[in-house]
Amino acid sequence: MKLKQLLKLVFINITQNKVRTFLTTLGVIVGTATIFMVVAIGAGGEARVNEQYAKLNVGTIIVMPAARGKVADPLTKKDALLFQESENVARAFPLLRGNGSITYDNFSTNAGFQAIQPGFQDSNHLTVQQGRALVEDDEKKKNKYAVVGAELANTLTDGNPSGIVGRSISINSRKFEVVGVYNPVGDSGTGMSYDDSAFIPYTVGEKYLLGTRANPTIIVQATGLETVQSAIEDITNILNETHRAGGAEQFRILDAGSRLVAAQESARTMSLLLLAVAAVVLIVSGIGIMNVMFVTVKERTREIGTLKAIGAKKREILGQFLIEAVVISLVGGVLGVIIGFAAVPLLKYFELPALPSISGILLGLVFSVITGVFFGFYPAWKAAELNPIDALRYE
Amino acid sequence: MANNAKCIIDAKNIVKIYQNGSDELKVLDDVTLQVFEGDFTAILGPSGSGKSTLMNILGCLDLPTSGQYLLDGLDVLKASDNELSGIRNKKIGFVFQKFNLLPRLTALQNVMLPLLYRGISESEAMERAKQKLTLLGLEDRLTHRPNELSGGQQQRVAIARAIVGNPDIVLADEPTGNLDSKSSQDAMEIFKELNQQGNTIVIITHDIEVAEQVNKIFYIRDGKIYNDGGKGVG
């Protein structure tokens, strides 16, 4: 029998029992919709992570004191220069960090401030949206200038940062002139948000704000992602040399790339977990299909006998029932994808990032067909193997 | 009977034994029979006589335990499963007691089915099926499903399905068993007419009235054939 006729026969059989067909497809609908949404959520999650870390320099290594507060043997500017001598290190900048009350126009907020050398801005993708960045001259002259992060600028000005440049803010009661506002950069990978910080020249931070409590962190840029580990080894060796008293032990060395990898991995783990759930749903729906196909074969036993008597070959019987199972599951798959699509706005409403994709549609459909083939095969094979006499005699 | 016609069914020493645990049940015991082209034959026997088993073997639905069976010169015992399907499709037309029409298909689709399994195109199959249904007076029932047809009509659809592929032989298993006497007579008239048109027909029945309308009768009892296909009561 030609495939076209076989399909026609299957179509006639399936449409004659619409309720059963629909009930059988329910599991497949849920399974396929789940797969589709999982792929969408996975893609959305990954996109969110990538967006979040877009500006992150993955070669960034942070060297910071292991203990908070006053340290007996702090890092120094000299350490940064020594680090820079390693062939695996592109640049290294000392950085002073603090927290405090920042006031602008009688409005106060608690935020971080960071004292940096001008080169730090380039290597951390800090660009200004208004005004200017910090420059070498500010560093040398110990100018009491500040550049504020995008978010902090918004907070201080109640969402209208255009007028802040040229005005003054006070950090822990010391006045600074705002010379610029940075563009947002997202997660810095250093454990402190750049967007929510104020930046001042390093020398100014040393002199006015932190004084003897100055306890620098050093931000190191490795020459590439692949040299991060070697750079960390070099840094450890240098610290053991220069801080003989406590050695490298008193410092923590973090690398930002591993945080990105971890975030991507956790997004992927989440996707896999959901995919496993979808697989379970499909297996259950497959068992449902198998059940219904067994009932169908049983019901049509005499028909199968008749078909064999008028010349249907085994493979034609097998094909007919297998196609029936696949069509049922494929119908479920298509409905599942449609429902998945319809659910995307709902997911977005619940702030789940969802990005519908062709691969999600294909994966859903492929899985639904596989379910039909896999679970439809045994009943179809049973039908094909029926002894024609027994089948004809079946009541 | 002296006969120059082609031998369609040539069964020799057919034995069929069913194994039931340690018991052996000899359902057919050395059955030999021949059916020639153009014959209108009945195999007559009470229930339990083995006539259904014989019909299954003659219809290539089952294979004998021993013996030889040539169908139109073809050795059935040497045929593979697929070849047997092909033989059933091309050489044999079945008519069943319970009609065995596919309930979800229309009369026309039911009759087309054997041709479709033969790989004939849909349009040609439809043409030929229409022709046979018209021949059997069902031209206004083409799109009816079996449950919309009377028993007599259903059996006529089944007969149309049996002859649509121009088989060498039509095997009818108690074709009147589920019909009232009027429809039974109609069906027998159809068989007679088909026979006159050259179809070879074998009817398996327990009904002596049916058997009396054919040209040749084989009596079967306890798995044995008691005459060689002559006409008469025995």
Assembly ipTM: 0.92
- Contact assessment for residue A58 and residue A256, using Cβ atoms and an 8 Å cutoff: yes
Q: What angle do CA A322, A328, A333 make, to 5 degrees?
A: 120
Token couple for A394:
């079946």
- If asked whether residues A159 and A217 sit together in one domain, one would say yes
**Which H helix or E strand runs over A199?**
strand A197-201
**Which H helix or E strand runs over B41?**
strand B40-44
Instruction: Give the count of beta carbons closer than 10 Å to the beta carbon of residue A167.
Output: 12
- If asked whether residues A95 and A231 sit together in one domain, one would say yes
Cβ <8 Å between A311 and B88 = yes
Which residue in A has a C-alpha nearest to residue B62's C-alpha? A389
* Domain interval for residue A124: 74-242
Residue whose pair of structure tokens reads 């008519």 in the numeric block: B95
Q: Residue B215: which of B192, B184, B234 has the closest Cα? A: B192
- If asked whether residues A44 and A100 sit together in one domain, one would say no
- As a whole number of angstroms, the distance between CA A37 and CA A39 comes to 5
- If asked whether residues A20 and A78 sit together in one domain, one would say no
- If asked whether residues A215 and A275 sit together in one domain, one would say no
- If asked whether residues A114 and A225 sit together in one domain, one would say yes
In a domain, A248, yes or no: no
Token couple for A378:
């045994």
**Interchain CB contacts (distance < 8 Å): A and B:** 72
Per DSSP bridges, beta strands B7-20 and B23-36 are antiparallel
- As a whole number of angstroms, the distance between CA A222 and CA A33 comes to 44
- As a whole number of angstroms, the distance between CA A90 and CA A87 comes to 8
B51-56: Cβ within 8 A, 24+ apart = B51/B204, B51/B206, B51/B220, B52/B173, B52/B204, B53/B16, B53/B27, B53/B28, B53/B223, B54/B14, B54/B28, B54/B204, B54/B220, B55/B171, B55/B173, B55/B202, B55/B204, B56/A389
Residue type, B134: T
- As a whole number of angstroms, the distance between CA A279 and CA B176 comes to 54
Phi, psi of A147 (to 5 degrees): -115, 130
- Contact assessment for residue A235 and residue A84, using Cβ atoms and an 8 Å cutoff: no
- As a whole number of angstroms, the distance between CA A337 and CA A31 comes to 10
**pLDDT at position A42, please?**
82
**pLDDT at position B91, please?**
94
B56 CB neighbours in chain A (<8 A) are: 389
Domain boundary among A184, A207, A242: A242
How deeply is A251 buried, as exposed, middle or buried, from its count of CB atoms within 10 A (0-12, 13-18, 19+)?
A: buried
- As a whole number of angstroms, the distance between CA A318 and CA A50 comes to 49
Q: Residue B9: which of B76, B75, B85, B72 has the closest Cα? A: B72
- As a whole number of angstroms, the distance between CA A126 and CA A60 comes to 14
- If asked whether residues A228 and A284 sit together in one domain, one would say no
- If asked whether residues A110 and A154 sit together in one domain, one would say yes
> Stretch A229-236: mean pLDDT, rounded?
88
Residue whose pair of structure tokens reads 């596989």 in the numeric block: A370
pLDDT band at B2 (very low <50, low <70, confident <90, very high): very low
Instruction: Give the count of beta carbons closer than 10 Å to the beta carbon of residue A287.
Output: 13
In a domain, A31, yes or no: yes
For residue B229, pLDDT over 60 is answered with no
- If asked whether residues A175 and A109 sit together in one domain, one would say yes
In a domain, A257, yes or no: no
- As a whole number of angstroms, the distance between CA A116 and CA A139 comes to 9
- Structure-derived torsion over alpha carbons of residues A352, A353, A358, A364, reported in degrees to the nearest 10: -20
Domain boundary among A214, A242, A270: A242
For residue B233, pLDDT over 60 is answered with no
Write the Ramachandran bin of B230: left for phi over 0, alpha for psi from -120 to 50, otherwise beta: beta
For residue A253, pLDDT over 90 is answered with no
**pLDDT at position B70, please?**
95
Q: What is the pLDDT of residues A81-100, one digit of tens each?
A: 889 888 988 888 888 888 88
For residue A65, pLDDT over 50 is answered with yes
Q: What is the pTM of this model?
A: 0.72
Residues 114 through 133 of chain B touching chain A, CB cutoff 8 Å: 114, 116-119, 121-122
The number of distinct structural domains making up chain A is 2
**Which H helix or E strand runs over A218?**
strand A217-222
* Shortest Cα–Cα distance, B140 to chain A (Å): 22
- Contact assessment for residue A81 and residue A119, using Cβ atoms and an 8 Å cutoff: no
| CB of B104 less than 8 A from some CB of A | yes
Per DSSP bridges, beta strands B74-75 and B66-71 are antiparallel
Q: What is the pLDDT of residues A264-291, one digit of tens each?
A: 788 788 878 888 888 888 888 889 889 9
For residue B234, pLDDT over 50 is answered with no
- If asked whether residues A238 and A266 sit together in one domain, one would say no
- Contact assessment for residue B132 and residue B126, using Cβ atoms and an 8 Å cutoff: no
Domain boundary among A242, A276, A297: A242
- If asked whether residues A226 and A298 sit together in one domain, one would say no
More confident residue, A186 or A357: A357
B121 CB neighbours in chain A (<8 A) are: 2
In a domain, A69, yes or no: no
How deeply is B141 buried, as exposed, middle or buried, from its count of CB atoms within 10 A (0-12, 13-18, 19+)?
A: buried
**pLDDT at position A2, please?**
81
* Shortest Cα–Cα distance, A312 to chain B (Å): 6
In a domain, A105, yes or no: yes
**pLDDT at position B1, please?**
47
In a domain, A21, yes or no: yes
Residue type, A305: G
For residue B126, pLDDT over 90 is answered with yes
| CB of B89 less than 8 A from some CB of A | yes
Cβ <8 Å between B85 and A309 = no
In a domain, A211, yes or no: yes
More confident residue, A70 or A386: A386
Cβ <8 Å between A307 and B96 = no
| CB-facing half-sphere around the CA of B40: CA atoms within 13 A | 18
For residue A71, pLDDT over 70 is answered with no
| Alpha helices (H) along A300-311 | 301-309
Q: Which of B94, B114, B119 has the CB atom closest to A2's CB atom?
A: B119
- Contact assessment for residue A1 and residue A325, using Cβ atoms and an 8 Å cutoff: no
In a domain, A251, yes or no: no
Helices A314-349 and A18-52: crossing angle, nearest 10°? 50
What's the DSSP call for residue A205? I
**pLDDT at position A190, please?**
66
Chain A residues whose C-beta is within 8 A of a chain B C-beta are 1-2, 4-5, 9, 12-13, 16, 302-303, 305-314, 316, 388-389, 392
Q: Which of A2, A308, A310 has the CB atom closest to B161's CB atom?
A: A310
> Stretch A326-354: mean pLDDT, rounded?
89
Lowest mean pLDDT across A123-137, A203-217, A288-302, B115-129: A203-217
- If asked whether residues A110 and A234 sit together in one domain, one would say yes
